[in-house]
Structure formats: C-alpha cells, structure tokens
C-alpha cells in the first residue's frame, strides 16, 4: 500500500482502540504512515501506540477523547495542533438496536453526535489544509444498514445513511483537488459491536463465523482509497443491489425480517443474563 504515503503527515483515526479502527491503524503503520489515534479508552490507545511504534518504527500519537462530548472537536484540534493530518478516518460510532419507542432519548442524541456530528466537524476542521496542500484523504465508515431503511436500528441506520451521503457528497466536491474521499459500507464485521448491543460473547462468536474480519474491511478500504468513491463488503454489495432493483418498501421489509431475527436473538441473550 505504498500509495498511502503520498498523502503525507499523520493518519488521524477515530475509534482506534478496537475493531476496524485498530486495524486501520495497524495497516497504515505497516505501510510506513504515522498515526494519530483517537478514542475514549486511554489504556488501549497506549497499548496500540507501543505496538505500532515497536513493530513499524513510525510516529504514533494519541488523544483520549469522547467524540460525543460537546468540546470533543476542540480537544482533538488542540491535541493535533502543529501536526499535518494527511488522512482522516471517521470510524468511531455505535448502535443501539431495538424498538424505537423503547430507546433512551439520551442514547439517541449521543449516537447522532458521535456518528454524524463528529465526522462533519472533524472533516471541516482538517480538510481545508488538505485542499490547500492539494493532497490528503478522508475515509468515511458507513454501514450496510445505511443503504436502506433499517427497522429496529432506526436511528443507527439513519446515521449511517447520513455518513454514506456525506462521504459521497465530499467525494463529488473534492474530485480533482488532490484530496481523495472513500466511503466504506461494512456488513457484519467481527468487532465489539454485537456485545455492546446486548448479545452474549457466545452468540456474537457464533454470528461472527459468517462475518468479515475487521482487518479485511480496513484493507479493502485502504486499497480502494483514491480509486473508488464507495467500497462495499460482500453482503453490503447485495444490499446495494437490492436497493437498486427493488421498490423501497420491499427492501425495507426484507431488512425488517433480518432485524427481527436479530432482535429475537438479543432478547434470548437478555433472558439468559
């Protein structure tokens, strides 16, 4: 992935302490790109910093920041002051599945702030310098659940639809400026996502037997950067195809059936304790 070094400076990766974000950092460091890690869990950031520096002899900085906080962007800007950000990876996010009327309003607001507002404000903060330098890149992490309306993940799916549209719009604005934009739509990926939504470790492990690895998602995204505006995982390609050929209500019903099965599994996990 030699093409990644052309952007210069640091790759700033949000949600870098686990999952896809951590794999982005590992692949970038292996390609010789310095990394700026952003996530809430400082101990994990320190551990990853030590791993990347010792294995790849790159510069690694980090900022332990909750990107859903009101002053989060200012904290990140202050931590990165004086550094060139050549690649911005808007990866941090979370879901909160279940019937919409049962979800906590505070959790919904936090999700919207993290999944939508943080990428917008981080992009606004760092992309002008990329445009001025005529080189840089941004990666937006969307989801297969953002391709069509997603019952029982209504807010999460909507935030990922926002990310998909936002990433595509910036690609359209910046094409030809030297700043590359790619949006990735992962499907089920082996991360901490399912456990954070209430599934047991054993249920998550069973589901992940049919999933993509976080490393695969990070790799196909980086390979597509500068070449493709949108990158789809295998199952999200199927969703995108269904969205093109089926009426929207039909696609929504199809997604509803899948999510109902997932909801049943979640309830069984909660009942089991």
- 103-155: pLDDT as tens digits: 999 999 999 999 999 999 999 999 999 999 999 999 999 999 999 988 999 99
The percent helix, strand, coil of the chain (3-state, each to 5) is 60, 15, 25
- 202-233: pLDDT as tens digits: 555 555 556 688 999 999 999 999 999 999 99
Cα-flanking dihedrals φ and ψ of residue 36, to 5°? -120, 110
Cα-flanking dihedrals φ and ψ of residue 230, to 5°? -135, 135
Q: Residues for the chain: how many in total?
A: 273
Q: If we measure between CA atoms, which residue out of 35, 79, 43, 93 comes closest to residue 222? A: 35
- pTM for the whole structure: 0.90
Answer whether 166's CB lies under 8 Å from 120's CB: yes
- Domain range for 142: 2-272
pLDDT value at position 260? 79
Catalytic residue IDs: 156, 160
With residue 165 as reference, give the H or E element that holds it.
helix 154-174
Mean pLDDT of 250-255: 87
Residue 90's CATH number: 3.40.50.720
Answer whether 51's CB lies under 8 Å from 17's CB: no
Domain count, the chain: 1
């Amino acid at each position: 992935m030699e093409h990644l070094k052309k952007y210069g400076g640091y790759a700033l990766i949000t949600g870098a302490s686990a999952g896809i974000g951590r794999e982005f950092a590992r692949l970038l460091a292996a390609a010789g790109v310095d990394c700026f890690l952003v996530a809430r869990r400082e101990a994990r950031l320190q551990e990853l910093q030590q791993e990347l520096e010792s294995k790849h002899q790159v510069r690694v900085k980090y900022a332990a920041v909750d990107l859903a906080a009101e002053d989060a962007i200012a904290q990140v800007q202050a931590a990165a002051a004086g550094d060139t950000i050549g690649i911005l990876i808007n990866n941090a996010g979370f879901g909160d599945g279940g019937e919409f009327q049962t979800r906590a309003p505070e959790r919904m607001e936090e999700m919207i702030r993290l999944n939508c507002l943080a990428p917008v404000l981080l992009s606004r903060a760092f992309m002008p310098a990329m445009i001025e330098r005529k080189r840089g890149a941004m990666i937006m992490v969307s989801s297969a659940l953002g391709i069509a309306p997603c019952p029982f993940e209504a807010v999460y799916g909507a935030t990922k639809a926002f990310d998909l549209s936002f990433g595509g719009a910036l690609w359209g604005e910046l094409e030809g400026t030297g700043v590359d934009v790619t949006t990735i739509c992962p499907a089920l990926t082996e991360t901490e996502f399912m456990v954070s939504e209430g599934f047991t470790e054993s249920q998550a492990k069973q589901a992940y037997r049919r999933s993509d690895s976080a490393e695969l998602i990070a790799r196909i995204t980086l390979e597509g950067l500068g070449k493709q505006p949108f990158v789809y995982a295998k199952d999200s390609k199927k969703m995108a195809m269904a969205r093109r050929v089926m009426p929207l209500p039909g696609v929504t019903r199809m997604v509803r059936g899948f999510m109902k099965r997932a909801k049943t599994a979640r309830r069984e996990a909660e009942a089991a304790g």
